[in-house]
Structure formats: C-alpha cells, structure tokens
Amino acid sequence: MDESLEQEIQTNAEDQENEIVTEGSAFVHGEPSQDGSVPPKVDSEVEVLDEKVSKQIIKEGHGSKPSKYSTCFLHYRAWTKHSQHKFEDTWQEQQPIELVLGKEKQVMAGLAIGVSSMKSGERALLHVGWELAYGKEGNFSFPNVPPMADLLYEVEVIGFDETKEGKARSDMTVEERIGAADRRKMDGNALFKDEKLEEAMQQYEMAIAYMGDDFMFQLYGKYQDMALAVKNPCHLNMAACLIKLKRYDEAIGHCNIVLTEEEKNPKALFRRGKAKAELGQMESAREDFRKAQKYAPDDKAIRRELRAVAEQEKAVYQKQKEMYKGIFGGKEEGSAKAKSRNWLIVFWQWLVSLFYRIFGRNRVKAD
C-alpha cells in the first residue's frame, strides 16, 4: 500500500471516524487456499480430542482458546467422510457462522469440541464421528446428510467473544450489537497500527459478522445509519489492508459492497481504483479516480493517482509504439531495397534494348 493510503488510514483511526474494519465474508483471512471441492490433504499430526473427534492443524493460530459459553465466529466446509460429498460451505455463502460453546445444537456437538480446541486464526481439519454429528437417522432436508455418516470439517476460527452468559447476537439489542461491532473495529485499528494485518482483519471480520444481512434488513432510520457508520468503514479499511497484502480482487469486492450502499463514497472509489490500477486495469481505474475526484475535489492522493495512471499509460503507449516500429519498420526497409533492385533491372533492360536498336540500324546500313 502506498504512503498516502497508509497516512489516510492512520488519520482516520486517530480521529476515530469510521475507517479501518473488515467484513465477515469469504473475501478476508478466511479465504481457503484450495478450491474446496474436496477435503484438503493434511499431513500434520493427528490430535485426538474425543473418542469421536480428532484434529489436524492446517495453519497455526494465536492467543488463547475459547472457554465454555464463548461466542465463536468461524468459517467451515463440511463433507461426508466416505463419499466426500460436500454439503455445506460458509465461505461460498460469504457469511461466517456464530457458535456459542455449550449451547450448540446436537448435530454440531463434534464441531464444537473441535472449535473449543482452536485459537483465533487457526485452521484445521476435523474428523467427526456420526454419533456427534447428524446421528443414526441423518438429515434429509438441508443440509442433506445420509444416516450414520462420519464427517470432515475444514474449519477456521476467526475469533471469539468471552461472555459469561454466552449471549448470542440474536439475543442482543440493536445497540448492543452495534456497540460490540464498534469495539471490534477499534481493536482492529490498534492491530493495524502495529502492522498486524492478519489479526486486524480477524477483528474486522467479527465486527461485520455482527452486521449481517439478516440484521441490516430489519433496520431503518437512525439505527440503520448507526449500523452503516460501523459496517461501511469496516469494508473500507478491510480493502486498505488487502491492498497492502496485494490481494487486490478481494479489496475490490469490499469496495463494491460499500458502493452498493453509497455510490458516491470517494474512499470506496479511490481504493477500488487503486486495486484496479495494481491489476493493470488502467481505464477502469482512471474512471474510479475521476469519480472520486468529483466527490472529493481537494484530495491530493486522488490527483496523484490520476497522474500515476496517465504516466503509466504513456509508458505503455511508448513501449507499444517501439514494438510496432520494429515490426513495420523492417518491412518498409525491405520494401525500399526491393524497389531499388527493381529500378536497377528496369535500367539494365532499357540499356540492352538501346544497344540492340543501335546495333540493328548499323547492320541495315551495312547491308
């Protein structure tokens, strides 16, 4: 991320305005490295957590582990172990799930045992026996799981809230949910300042998880404004982190989410343009920068990026010009040589013809 973008984020954090937080979706740290069609191949040591649950770590986490009644936020994929049929994927749905340890449904008992052994940011493959999953009968609605099916879970713990009463989001008031999201946002800001981008994004993801679609659809008036004042800055700051990590497509996705709510948001336009420019999409980047400049005409960073795009396009044009000059210039040179040879042949033919004419006349006179 360039210096101007980082300064902008630092200034916003100091002012405690809205900027620096992420979203609970597939864009962020939870994006799996594999395509997810089949369970990942893991060669780490198998840790037995229960008679019916074992774990293999894919990526180490950090910090402490959640305790009973902690509200955990996680992404996971689930397969039946025997057929490797995938029946659920929260990454694909772009929404993390919330799991209150000790209050989980029976079908998630094995998953909860695995999650309770994991740290924030940890990703693991869980092996769960059917007794602690969908049981002897299975499930024939959604998700569709056959009877007595052992399961495999690829799980990532985004983070967790330690609450004595194990209060789920659905049991919170509007003010409580917005407040919890805002605290996560501020925690993310502090981590960002320390350059702990992955950890910051985990906080941002948890903040956005409080602002899910099911919640936002119910809001109007001042409560909707309060929620957007936390949610949209989370997406914008997430985009800033992702640009710094060179994950440009994901950054564009977060900016798009903001622009669906606020199409004239200059920060969203600027950061999307920045990501597009890094991907070489110069024409589209310039369009975003010009729109951003329209809504923030005094922003020096926007003017600087517009100049950079113009200079880069000029450099590309000069390079193409030299390349085409080499291709077509060679043909012109060859054509000139060919024309020179043709004139020489014509002159020689004319000279020979003239000689024969003169020789022929002299011969007639002699006869």
The average confidence (pLDDT) of the chain is 81
Whole-angstrom distance, CA of residue 131 vs CA of residue 319 = 66
Report pLDDT digits (tens) over 297-310: 998 999 999 988 88
The contacts of residue 269 (CB under 8 Å, 6+ apart) are: 255, 259, 288, 289, 291, 292, 295
Higher pLDDT, 350 or 206: 206
Ordered DSSP codes for 274-313: HHHHHTT-HHHHHHHHHHHHHH-TT-HHHHHHHHHHHHHH
Range 346-351 average pLDDT: 71
Report pLDDT digits (tens) over 186-220: 989 888 888 888 888 888 888 888 887 778 888 88
User: How many percent of the chain have pLDDT more than 70?
Assistant: 78
22 and 204 Cβ atoms separated by less than 8 Å: yes
CA separation (Å) from 91 to 3, 144, 303, 335? Answer: 32, 18, 37, 61
Whole-angstrom distance, CA of residue 77 vs CA of residue 237 = 27
3-state secondary structure of 121: coil
The gap between the terminal CA atoms of the chain, to the nearest Å, is 99
Report pLDDT digits (tens) over 282-333: 889 999 999 999 999 998 999 999 988 888 878 777 777 777 666 655 554 5
The contacts of residue 210 (CB under 8 Å, 6+ apart) are: 169, 177, 178, 180, 181, 184
- pLDDT tier for residue 19 given thresholds of 50, 70 and 90: very low
Ordered DSSP codes for 51-75: TTEEEEEEE--BS----TT-EEEEE
- pLDDT tier for residue 24 given thresholds of 50, 70 and 90: very low
Q: Which residue has tokens 């409080």?
A: 210
Q: What local confidence, expressed as pLDDT, does residue 294 receive?
A: 92
Range 270-279 average pLDDT: 94
HSE of 151, CA atoms in CB hemisphere, 13 A: 33
Q: Which residue has tokens 């007595």?
A: 148
In this prediction the pTM is: 0.62
CA separation (Å) from 62 to 141, 194, 209, 238? Answer: 37, 16, 20, 20
